[in-house]
Amino acid sequence: MPKPRLSVHKIKEILRLRYACQLSERKIAQSCNIARSTVADYLRRAMEASLSWPLPENLDQEALEQMLFPSGERSVARHPLPHWQQIHQELKRKGVTLQLLWEEYRSEHPNGYSRSRFFERYRDWKKAIDPVMRITHKAGEKLFIDYAGQTVPVIIEGQQRQAQIFVATLGASNYTYAEATWTQALPDWIGSHVRAFDFFGGVPRLLVPDNLKSGVKQACYYEPEINPTYAQLAEHYGVAVLPTRVRKPKDKAKVEAGVKAVETRILARLRNRRFFSLRELNMEIAHLLEALNNQPFQKLPGSRRSQFEELDREALASLPRTPYVYTEWIRASAGVDYHVAVHKHYYSVPFTYLKKSLDVAISEHTVEIFYKGTRIASHRHSWRQGAYTTVKDHMPASDQRYAEWTPRRLINWASKTGEATATLIEGLLATYPHPEHGYRACLGIMRLAKSYGDERLEAACHRAVTIGSYRYKSVKSILKSGLDQAELPAPKKEREPIAHANIRGPEYYR
């Protein structure tokens, strides 16, 4: 049974991490939470298809799959696998180099691994058999990220809240950033990253978060399956995300050392202090953080700051022109009114995407809607609940075959329940600038018949029409309270005009 193909988002991420971030296949596999063989397969297909990075903007999922999976493709034979154990032993001999061994390998297998691939495969094998080998972090390569186990109490309006402590440590210099936030949730997690990058004055090649539960889908903060918002932040800053592996303590030794330093050199000194705002706490953390970074090492020359100036500062990539703007991603689908619900506001999409599964990116100022990686709609973010934002070009033409839902169809459907129901539906649709905006409410009214029956729904609609309330909530309230079974109130009589010498009466104004 063939393996399911990756989504366009995952394919683009593989290519970005390879060509923009220059990661190995192993690290790409860790970052994307997929098999390394899958990464190798897609990179090979991309090379055979002559794909370059960045990909063309108009390349959609179907076109990309056709380039990567052409019809009638032939399977490619695997490269002859070198005997790594023998190569490892040969390298211990005087004068023997990996270059020499590769040349001997290629003379025996002309179609074997390229030089760079041969070297990379050997390094991977060596790390697998020698897990205790000391890890040397390159300058500007990795930023290790975690939260401290301790929290700091802050008194707000007489109530005590616990502030979380975010810690980020550069691998080469141990230069550390720390700050307090109210939560470890995704918005605070992303905001702390942006402020950390500003503190360092640049960005590393790799972000190495511990397996907490903040940068992933829903509320399980960052497991290897990266949260779309976190992935977007990484793309904005041109970095890759490589979460630490479960039960691999060496992966997070660096950040644990940074957390311990923050706890002993900063949080311990604040244990008897009282804080009344998060800003006050962060000002004190910044003061103690400067002392921590300037403190001389015990067994090495210099300090975190001097090592940062010597190693990491010049190696970090430049910050982008603008900081990342927090964006929330959700999955949604367009209803019969071709609108997507976002925080109880409704945004239109082209009618052809009715009932399709869509990705929605929500930022402070915009709402963007995507289908298979292609943006199909963009709107200004509105905070008006229950309101609609509609682009006229998204509306279906009356002669189009896919205009399945129409006001006449809804009214005819309602008339099967009764005349009052049809009248209510017609009146409800008339209250909207575009009838399509009322489709959801109409369907909601018709579905009430499943719970209360057609007879009670007709009676409730008759009462709603009588009192002039053409709303779904009114009909539901009438049914819920049983007013549909009560006698209708008698119409109010018009009051007789008041006779008074100072009242001119309507005739005066004619």
Residue 253's DSSP bridge partners are none
Residue type for position 208: V
With H, G, I as helix, E, B as strand and everything else as coil, classify residue 145.
strand
- What letter would DSSP give residue 426? H
Count of other CB atoms within 10 angstroms of residue 444:
13
With H, G, I as helix, E, B as strand and everything else as coil, classify residue 487.
coil
With H, G, I as helix, E, B as strand and everything else as coil, classify residue 29.
helix
CA 60 to CA 67: how far, in whole Å?
A: 11
CA-CA distances (angstroms) from residue 356 to 2, 11, 29, 331, 370?
A: 25, 21, 30, 10, 10
Q: List CB contacts of 462: < 8 A, sequence separation 6 or more.
A: 418, 420, 488
pLDDT of residue 84: 74
Count of other CB atoms within 10 angstroms of residue 473:
10
Backbone angles phi, psi at 400, to 5 degrees: -80, 145
pLDDT of residue 144: 92
Helix 36-48 vs helix 61-68: crossing angle, to nearest 10: 90
Q: List CB contacts of 289: < 8 A, sequence separation 6 or more.
A: 176, 177, 178, 262, 266
- What letter would DSSP give residue 84? H
Residue appearing with tokens 């401290």: 148
pLDDT of residue 490: 61
CA 212 to CA 218: how far, in whole Å?
A: 13
Residue 144's DSSP bridge partners are 169, 208
Mapping DSSP onto H, E and C, the string for 395-416 reads CCCCCCCCCCCCHHHHHHHHHC
Q: Using omega within 30 degrees of 0 as the cis cutoff, is the peptide bond preceding 54 cis?
A: yes
CA 255 to CA 43: how far, in whole Å?
A: 32
Secondary structure tally for the chain: helices H, strands E: 18, 13
CA-CA distances (angstroms) from residue 50 to 8, 113, 408, 457?
A: 17, 20, 53, 63
pLDDT by position in tens, the chain (length 510): 455 677 777 888 888 888 888 888 888 888 888 888 888 888 888 888 878 788 877 777 777 877 887 764 444 445 677 877 677 656 655 567 888 888 888 888 887 888 888 888 887 767 665 443 334 577 888 999 999 989 999 998 888 999 999 999 998 888 999 999 999 988 899 999 999 999 999 999 999 887 555 554 543 444 446 778 888 899 999 998 887 755 555 556 666 788 888 998 899 999 889 999 999 999 999 999 999 999 988 766 688 999 899 888 988 999 999 999 888 888 888 877 788 888 888 898 988 888 788 989 888 788 999 988 888 999 998 888 878 888 878 877 653 444 456 777 788 888 888 888 888 888 888 887 777 777 778 888 888 888 888 888 888 898 888 888 888 888 888 888 888 787 776 655 554 554 545 444 445 434
